[in-house]
Structure 1
Amino acid sequence: MELTGKTALVTGSTAGIGAEAARLLAAAGAEVVVSGRNAERGAATVRSITDEGGRGRFLAADLTDLDSLHQLAAAAGEVDILVNNAAVFPGAPTVTQDVESFDAVLAANIRAPYFLTAALAPGMIARGSGSIVNVSTMAAKVGMPGLSVYSATKAALESLTRTWAAEFSPAGVRVNTVAPGPTRTDMVLAAMGEEGAQQIGKTTLLGRLATPREIAEVILFLASDRAAYLTGATIAADAGRTAA
């Protein structure tokens, strides 16, 4: 299996895209560190991995708390693949956006991946190899009412991908982003409702929502040596929504 001997840490992997990515990485041979705040859902993800013969363990972490973040990095050990997937997805018009939730989104969507990457990248650099996959969104490129803060944080994450590629890739560490289109996850459905999510899905060239598995497949590709010549790239997994 192509990821045998590798350790992968997937943040926000207790549900949705993160959980699917954790399962696929484990199926490809990686030992997967499942991370999130909900221990029950984390245990369920690990169970789904081990039931299929894979290796996984759960580490609880609140990535908006820098002490918890650094404890996660230390407990995870030598990480070869980091998937920065955890995020919060609030919606509010700009004129009614409150400061408290604004700061919370920045803490979860920018500060957390920034300092987790800063904690784990030195080990990858020292070993001369590694893959970091950031999870963005098509909303980083398409203006969507009510998603000003969320989309701005994801655009910043795509910018960090390019900077980190410039900083880390000469040492053998690749950094890439997948930017999903509308995806059937609990987070999206809670924010938009079934009808709202379906309407956005219909705006894509394929006319439907993605499944979490379809996005996770792109994460697996970017994490693997099949993407050995890709770094600093943002892959639009959005059914053509940002292409036409």
Structure 2
Amino acid sequence: MTNAAAGLPSETVARMFTRADGSYAFARWGRPIVPVVFGVDDATLSVVKGAIEAVVALAGHKMAETDPEIGANVMIFFLRDWDELLSVPDLGRMIDGLDALVARLKARGANQYRTFRFDAEGAIKACFGFCRLDAALAALPADTVALSMAVQTMLGWSDGAFADVAPLAEAKGRAVLRPEIAALLQAAYAPTMPAVARDPSHALRLAARIALATARTEEDE
């Protein structure tokens, strides 16, 4: 089913949370976000944290100074080579099979990777994000990379989540969040929506909210 109203088709929304095995798995954060960023200078650190704060505020979620269970629950690493991860103290304790993961990322020529941890109910409780600054990423403005990473940290997206719709667009020479993706984040974090969903009908509810929000925005304009 495709929504007639402006927004995102429900099929597109469903693909954003459909895994390779065909199962639907949606999850949002179940606790305030506490980020920490490694491998950047102070100026870039400010840009990355600012992007996270902006996206969290847009979604209607919260940030905090510390997570009572694990301190910082969003850890973002910037590096030049994947092998650098092997020398990060205690990272192997947090990321299962770190050696094998590094080998896979190198073999694929990947420049980004993220993995999530979930609480007993299935909501996100931690995210580890890695960004290898290859030539392609290094050529992008820091705010573009930071905004993209912030968006991808907010939900447990599928691997092909943005195959149909890119999360960012350009406005007046700067990267901005696409209105339909902004509406999706707001819909996903609406208080009446579940933090975890396994039924594909959840995508229909998200798409309906996105269509309504988009229609209201167009009316205001």
TM-score normalised by length of structure 1: 0.28
* Greater helix fraction, Structure 1 or Structure 2: 1
TM-score normalised by length of structure 2: 0.30
Higher relative contact order (CA 8 A, sep 6+): 2
